[in-house]
Amino acid sequence: MFSVLGKLKWFFLEHKKRYIIAVSCLILASIADVLPPKLIGLAIDAITYEQAGPSELANLLLIYGGIIVFSYIISFVWVYLLFGGAYLVERMMRTKLMGHLLQMNPTFFGKYRTGDLMARATNDLKAISATAGFGILTLVDSTVFMMLIIGVMVFTISWKLTLVALIPLPFMAIVMHKYGKTIHERFMRAQTSFGDLNDYVLESVRGVRVLRAFVQEKEDEKRFREHTEDVYTKNVAVAKIDAMFEPTMKVLVGLSYTIGLGYGAQLVFQNELTLGGLVSFNVYLGMLIWPMFAVGELINVMQRGNASLDRVNETLSYPADVRSPEHPVYINLPEILEFKDLDFVYPESQMKSVSNVTLTVKRGETIGVVGKTGAGKTTLFRQMLREYPRKNHGELLINGVPIEKLSLDQTRSWIGYVPQDQILFSKSVLENIRFGKSDASREEVNQVLGLSYLRQDVELLPEGLDTQVGESGVTLSGGQKQRLALARALIMDPEILILDDAMSAVDGKTEANIIANLRKERKGKTTFIAAHRLSAVEHADQIIVLEEGKIVEHGTHEQLIAHGGWYAAQYQLQQLEDQEVV
């Protein structure tokens, strides 16, 4: 149960001063809290036996008031430090988790679903925070505070009465252990179910247009109800065990009260205990309710925290597939890119997605990459983006240096990437463009709007550049999304621009204008263009045709037309289609 504290040892050591002061103040507050009942007993005995006058009682009241003020001040300090530490560990863990997620590659996100990761970053971190705050409180109160109360009862009132009244305690320990084990298992299942629900909701929101198009609203509601019912059922199972803690404590405390009153009254009749002592003893028994209840809460909080910390640590322990070398080689600019007999196999596959690719690209060249759907165009680009570890045959060299010897930050800072599926953020058009360069001026933004042929569209938007694009750009058309993603990449003025079928949703005329702008503005810098419309690449310095991951044709537009292969046939077919449209 307490293994969670060991797992959080790094945090407690890092903030040991905070926790030492907090726990010390908590213990002082506990000591202050056990004094008033004793004073009450003394006052009752003094009045009963006429041993105290008004002045003595006034002094007792002053002492009582002083204890209350001291307890208030010291309690403020420990609450501030202890629960401040709880929020601190949550913030640190969330920052650590987010930093880790940003280092992960597609393999990781294929294993962990988005909804489950969200559950770990919210509910699980809250449970860990509760362990570092409320968990420490219950730990001290269920041990130190309880021992203080029992000690006062034993040494200042009656050891016999105390021993008899606490007979139920061993039974409590056995029951709490069983409760704790059960709640750990059920809470793990509940958290997993919550992650599944999160993931399902995300998919439904993202695919709401498809759901409506296929008239699947009722089916989606039905599936959602099934997920929520599963989450509800599993959380109710946790709540059932949770709900048993307090009644169990009350029954045990009730037994202690019954024993204490019965045997205590007998001791009073036998003159072995004063009336004030019996009153004090019963007040202390009442005070024991919280420490005994704290034992149950301690087990509950620790087990939840342990389960959640295991889930978060599982995520954090997942190693990054691609890392920067310890001593990276520095290159000023990527003058030459060389693919030498490059092979690549996805981790979950056995087939080569790229095979024996050999290609040399000089700085300033435009490379056209074409081929059938699934030919390996995106996979080839991913080698430059270093999304997967290089474990296969062949090399990718930059200025003669294997790309694995360069830092990730450097290689990725050279590249502006516009993927097939554009990812836009729920911010304004301007903020989405500036994502590529946060300090870009309005003039730079206007320039890339012209290059991406988006200026006229932006002018027609309700608030221009300040228009909110909505979740994943839902308020924009497909072509506008693609051109906005292109503008975001262009504002970086990257050394290597990769357009991965990035203009499939724009019309031929707009595409031609964008290509013309790129040819003019991208002189001296490298550009890769993958496209299905061959008109987008006919100006390229080199064109490669991929088929099943292999280069089957390579040359300029004129050379490939003269070759009479797939490229020539596809080009002629597209020309005929364009003539028919006209």
- Mark out the alpha helices in 397-441 (DSSP H runs): 408-413, 429-434
Q: Please count the other Cβ atoms lying within 10 Å of the Cβ belonging to residue 58.
A: 11
Rounded CA separation 578/549 (Å): 29
Half-sphere exposure of 294 (CA within 13 A, CB side): 19
Rounded distance between C-alpha atoms, residue 221 and residue 217, angstroms? 6
Helices within 15-53 (DSSP H only)? 16-48
What is the pTM for the complete model shown?
A: 0.74
Predicted local distance difference test score (pLDDT) of residue 397: 93
Out of 194-208, 237-251, 475-489, the most confident range is 475-489
Q: Which of 36-40, 328-332, 354-358 has the lowest mean pLDDT?
A: 36-40
Q: Which element (helix H / strand E) includes 359?
A: strand 352-362
Beta strands at 526-530 and 542-547: parallel, antiparallel or unpaired = unpaired
The closest alpha carbon to 365, from 340, 400, 402, 338, belongs to 338
- Read off the pLDDT of each residue in 246-254 and give the average, rounded to a whole number: 77
How confident is the model at residue 50, as a pLDDT? 63
Q: Say whether pLDDT at 504 is over 70.
A: yes
The answer to whether 341 touches 394, Cβ cutoff 8 Å, is yes
Place of tokens 């003394």: 42
Determine the pLDDT at residue 582.
47
Give residue-wise pLDDT tens across range 213-240.
Answer: 778 888 888 888 988 999 899 889 888 8
pLDDT band, very low/low/confident/very high, at 398 (cuts 50, 70, 90): very high
Mean pLDDT of the chain: 86
Q: Which of 80-84, 222-226, 278-282 has the lowest mean pLDDT?
A: 278-282
What is the per-residue pLDDT across 439-491, written as a single tens digit (0 to 9) for each?
Answer: 888 889 999 999 998 888 888 888 888 888 877 777 888 888 999 999 999 99
Burial string for 75-110 (b: 16+ CB within 10 Å, else e) reads: bebbbebbbebbebbbeebbeebeebbeebbebbee
What's the chain's length in residues? 582
Mean pLDDT of 312-329: 89
| Residue 220: closest CA among 238, 234, 206 | 206
Tokens of 323: 């890392």
Nearest to 530, CA basis, from 520, 540, 521, 522: 540
Average pLDDT on 238-244 reads: 83
Amino acid, single-letter form, for residue 517:
N
